[in-house]
Chains A and B, each alone.
Chain A
């Protein structure tokens, strides 16, 4: 378990000391190094996050009669959404300078509040003795791929925030970005199971919403099957998907639906904690649709959590400047190889810089 702090000591008012120490020490070890700024930061900013099942999947056929009409129900249940984001700020001599940010947005008694964590700056990818990753309890498996490590650090913060919300809120709806799929090295199933267990203990219902999905039926995205339906509705695709992955180590800890939460809104893949019955899951989604604002079919709490945690180009500039002034890193533009070799005939992003 790569939790930052034991569950009993978890408090959302401050970030775990272990994480802060990791950030501090990982950069301190790089003092005075050159920082080659990433010219393709904007590409990172607009990159899509898939929910992680990998390749395209064929999940059988869908009958119109399977589409369930969603009955929105207004409740007093609090709603909380968690989102995190990371970005690479530049390359160091042996690794990368990265940043991490997270946000929790809560809706209680018709009032939205937020807590934003970070930005936290740290370095990754150094296999020397100054490497700080093990101090977080994150397994490196001997590898130093920055992308993988960055995803794991991000997942750790996200799980910590999710656990914190699960502990501090009772009887609510907890929204997370993505799916409730686990069992990968980046996202061990024990951690997700732990989060769901803690949430259930406080009678919270965890709902994961994916903006993008690769799941397909008859060469059509599963979300396309609700495109023609203008009313609020759900499609239960749980059995069909889980059958496809019977022989895989991936674990689906959520019941999988395709849902349209608002009239004429977009359909999304929706995973709900599978320990609840199908009816309870559908009721929970119905409560979400009426309790939170669901403009265009996407819950407002999750939308705002995403906005608050995302990095903008200005944030990147400021963090680079912060790193250079505080830790003595020397900022240099990264060599644009394509630009050097091909000039205006380069075809990649480098030709633009």
Chain B
């Protein structure tokens, strides 16, 4: 390989046919005696623009189509000509440097074009800087059978997993969930498709699930008592999830306080108090309708023993647990109510230091997370110890500001220009790299960007999971499964 030119952070190499290199690979440009090297990632492989190549190809075309013949080439010079025709141009982005064998971000110097040696490097070389206190196998690359990373790189971080459907986003998030749980972390999964519920079952464990994955179904085993959640949370649901006007919310607060003072705060009592309230009929109707919705959801109970005690659940599963909130087949309203309740409860636990930290995985969060929550989760709740991972196949449902604050981003395949435009704004990586690499990723392979890969973007084959993942796209014609 030879350096052809460098412009900004883009460096181009001439690569000869016998050199095995693909998009996503890293090269080290050693500047000889100065003991320094540039680290560059190949983002595109093109044919080198060799003089006379058009004539060569036309000539080959003529002889291939209409002629048969033989070459009498005793010195085998033609093989050199063939090499030249297959010479490739590598477009690479400079990601860092090495100074006296230490990784560095100082890339302000230019290597010698004549004397520099260009060699392919293993991803292992790039991630060795990660402090592996909590190592886990993320997957593999073309050049490395096992890519090991550190769970600490997820701790306190905001993560985004995105890609078009069927490319393996959920698979990666399941890998992260099970790994975190196995390392003793508390995890909550907001599961809209019910695809995480079997994470506790390995392929050969049959009907005996792991006790560290707890599936919660709203209204069945996910229920709260009114004293558990308090007026503020309840009002929050009425206002944000059920759009209760401000006037009506004041009336409701008054009713709640009266019942509390009488120590008769139950769902039944609340219903009666609203019916018997002397407020304006329209307010009464508004309150009644919303109360009925909440009551019908089954998510509230007067029986404290039937209510979910989150604090107790996390306390008894100190060695790690994943609470999977299964919202499959639920109405949008019930999803919003459930999430509002759940996040409020988690915030309470984190604020009161009853929980040290929590990893939240939210699939297609735009379906149930109100707009004001996004910034709240990314900023305030992060300081409380709630570390979110958003998973979506519609990248435009996540605001640009959130992409810019993300610490780890996992990009699966996107072919759509609009989607690529959106993800190109990822702060930690240039748009050109994303466009070049992401467009051609096969299923289960992603471009990982961020702390988890030592801030050296890496194309990774996500490790297979030995659990019943569900959630895989279902096909009518089963043979398609082999293709996808």
**Which A residues have a C-beta under 8 Å from some C-beta of B?**
13-15, 20, 23, 42, 45, 105, 111-121, 304, 307-308, 310, 312-319, 321-322, 325
- Whether B372 is near chain A, meaning CB under 8 Å from some CB there, is no
Contact A315 B69 (CB under 8 A): no
State how many angstroms separate the Cβ of B121 from the closest Cβ of chain A. 26
Bound CA span A13–B70, Å: 9
Total contacts A-B at CB 8 Å: 96
Closest 7 CB pairs of A and B: A313-B52, A312-B52, A313-B51, A114-B69, A314-B52, A318-B81, A322-B80
- Whether B482 is near chain A, meaning CB under 8 Å from some CB there, is no
Q: CB-CB < 8 A to B62: which residues of A?
A: 304, 307
**Which among B71-79, B293-301, B412-420 touches the partner chain?**
B71-79
**Which B residues have a C-beta under 8 Å from some C-beta of A?**
50-53, 55-56, 59, 62-63, 66-75, 77-78, 80-81, 83-85
Bound CA span A307–B55, Å: 9
Contact A321 B69 (CB under 8 A): no
Contact A315 B68 (CB under 8 A): no
Q: CB-CB < 8 A to A45: which residues of B?
A: 52
Bound CA span A292–B181, Å: 79
State how many angstroms separate the Cβ of B60 from the closest Cβ of chain A. 10
If A112-B67, A118-B77 are given as contacts, then 8 extra A-B residue pairs at C-beta distance below 8 Å, sorted by A number, are A114-B67, A115-B69, A115-B70, A116-B69, A116-B71, A117-B73, A119-B75, A316-B51
Q: CB-CB < 8 A to B73: which residues of A?
A: 116-119
Q: CB-CB < 8 A to B77: which residues of A?
A: 118-121, 318-319, 322
Contact A312 B80 (CB under 8 A): no
Contact B55 A312 (CB under 8 A): yes
State how many angstroms separate the Cβ of A328 from the closest Cβ of chain B. 15
Q: CB-CB < 8 A to B74: which residues of A?
A: 14-15, 20, 120
State how many angstroms separate the Cβ of B56 from the closest Cβ of chain A. 5
Closest to A300 in B: B66
State how many angstroms separate the Cβ of B88 from the closest Cβ of chain A. 14
State how many angstroms separate the Cβ of B47 from the closest Cβ of chain A. 12
Contact A314 B53 (CB under 8 A): yes
Q: CB-CB < 8 A to A117: which residues of B?
A: 72-73
Contact A112 B66 (CB under 8 A): yes
Bound CA span A9–B68, Å: 26
Q: CB-CB < 8 A to B81: which residues of A?
A: 119, 314-315, 318-319
Bound CA span A313–B78, Å: 14
Closest to A102 in B: B72
Bound CA span A119–B82, Å: 13
Q: CB-CB < 8 A to A14: which residues of B?
A: 72, 74
With A13-B72, A117-B72 already in contact, the answer to whether A314 and B78 are too (CB < 8 A) is: no
Bound CA span A112–B69, Å: 9
Contact B59 A15 (CB under 8 A): no
Bound CA span A151–B52, Å: 24
Pick 16 A–B contacts, CB within 8 A, sort by A.
A15-B72, A113-B68, A114-B63, A114-B70, A119-B75, A121-B77, A312-B51, A313-B50, A313-B51, A313-B55, A314-B50, A314-B52, A315-B81, A316-B52, A318-B77, A322-B75
Contact B72 A116 (CB under 8 A): yes
Q: CB-CB < 8 A to A120: which residues of B?
A: 74-75, 77
Contact B51 A314 (CB under 8 A): yes
State how many angstroms separate the Cβ of B387 from the closest Cβ of chain A. 55
Closest to A315 in B: B81
Q: CB-CB < 8 A to B84: which residues of A?
A: 314, 317-318, 321
Bound CA span A161–B72, Å: 12
Q: CB-CB < 8 A to A121: which residues of B?
A: 75, 77
State how many angstroms separate the Cβ of A284 from the closest Cβ of chain B. 24
Identify the interface centre among A105, A308, A313, A314: most chain B CB within 10 Å of its CB.
A314
State how many angstroms separate the Cβ of A348 from the closest Cβ of chain B. 20
Q: CB-CB < 8 A to A13: which residues of B?
A: 72
Closest to A317 in B: B84
Q: CB-CB < 8 A to A113: which residues of B?
A: 67-69
Contact B75 A23 (CB under 8 A): yes
Closest to A42 in B: B51
Contact A314 B85 (CB under 8 A): yes
Q: CB-CB < 8 A to B59: which residues of A?
A: 307-308, 312
State how many angstroms separate the Cβ of A307 from the closest Cβ of chain B. 5
State how many angstroms separate the Cβ of B265 from the closest Cβ of chain A. 86
Contact A119 B78 (CB under 8 A): yes
Bound CA span A209–B109, Å: 60
Bound CA span A116–B78, Å: 11
Bound CA span A20–B67, Å: 27
State how many angstroms separate the Cβ of A112 from the closest Cβ of chain B. 5
Q: CB-CB < 8 A to A316: which residues of B?
A: 51-52
Contact B71 A304 (CB under 8 A): no
Bound CA span A318–B76, Å: 11
Bound CA span A314–B63, Å: 17
Q: CB-CB < 8 A to A112: which residues of B?
A: 66-68
Q: CB-CB < 8 A to B70: which residues of A?
A: 114-116
Q: CB-CB < 8 A to A321: which residues of B?
A: 80, 84
